[in-house]
């Protein structure tokens, strides 16, 4: 059989199809038509669905809350690995305080009260040398670096006030 014979046979079949072939072609066309109608119906239905604005707002709020919580968890994890524990530092400061020296205020944490360092202690005593004993005790604890008395001033009566600043034990002042 040559090419021309095959083409003529196909044209003959399609121009005068048998009853069996007609049924098969009709069934195929019917199935394709039904599937096309179903697909169009699904597209129209899913295209008409609208998300309730309240649900959309709730979703946006949840995404923001999740983002905020993630950043807070990261900050907490970072602080656990980077920073000294404040209760431990407080314990060191209380144990280093010499007798006759009292606290006016104690600021702990990064950049305490704007001063470089992780601790700023406002102390009061009748004897100025107690401030220097205090700084020596803090240095000996090895919990702080760069401990110094930044200022001493005469208060009322016979009391003296001092500001003691202590830096991060990892070196340097603050970070």
C-alpha distance across the termini of the chain, in Å: 91
Q: Walk along the chain (175 residues) and give the pLDDT tens digit of each residue.
A: 677 787 877 777 677 767 777 788 889 999 999 999 999 999 999 888 888 889 989 999 999 889 888 888 887 776 665 555 677 888 888 999 999 898 888 888 765 445 556 788 999 998 889 999 999 999 998 888 888 888 888 887 778 999 999 887 655 444 3
d(CA 115, CA 122): 12
Structure tokens at 142: 């090895």
Kindly report the number of other CB atoms within 10 A of residue 164's CB atom. 26
Neighbours of 149 (CB within 10 A): 16
Q: Measured between alpha carbons, how far is 88 from 79 in angstroms, rounded to an integer?
A: 14
Residue 147 neighbours by CB distance under 10 Å: 22
Domains of the chain: which residue ranges? 3-78, 86-167
The SS3 call for residue 163 is: strand
Q: Which helix (H) or strand (E) segment is 105 a member of? A: strand 101-108
- Asked: is 86-167 a CATH 3.40.50.10490 domain? The reply is no
């Amino acid at each position: 059989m040559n090419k021309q014979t095959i083409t003529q046979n196909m044209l003959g079949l399609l121009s005068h199809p048998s009853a069996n072939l007609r049924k098969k072609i009709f069934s195929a066309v019917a199935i394709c038509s039904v599937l096309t109608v179903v697909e169009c119906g699904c597209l129209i239905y899913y295209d008409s669905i609208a998300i309730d604005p309240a649900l959309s707002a709730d979703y946006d709020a949840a995404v923001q809350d999740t983002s905020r919580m993630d950043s807070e968890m990261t900050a907490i994890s970072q602080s656990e690995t980077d920073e000294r524990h404040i209760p431990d530092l407080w314990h060191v400061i209380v144990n280093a305080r010499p007798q006759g020296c009292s606290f006016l205020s104690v600021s702990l944490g990064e950049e305490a009260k704007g001063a470089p360092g992780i601790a700023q202690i406002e102390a009061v005593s009748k004897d100025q040398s107690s401030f220097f004993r205090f700084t020596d005790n803090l240095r000996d604890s090895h919990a702080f670096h760069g401990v110094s008395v930044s200022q001493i001033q005469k208060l009322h009566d016979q009391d003296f006030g001092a500001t003691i600043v202590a830096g991060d034990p990892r070196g340097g002042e603050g970070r």
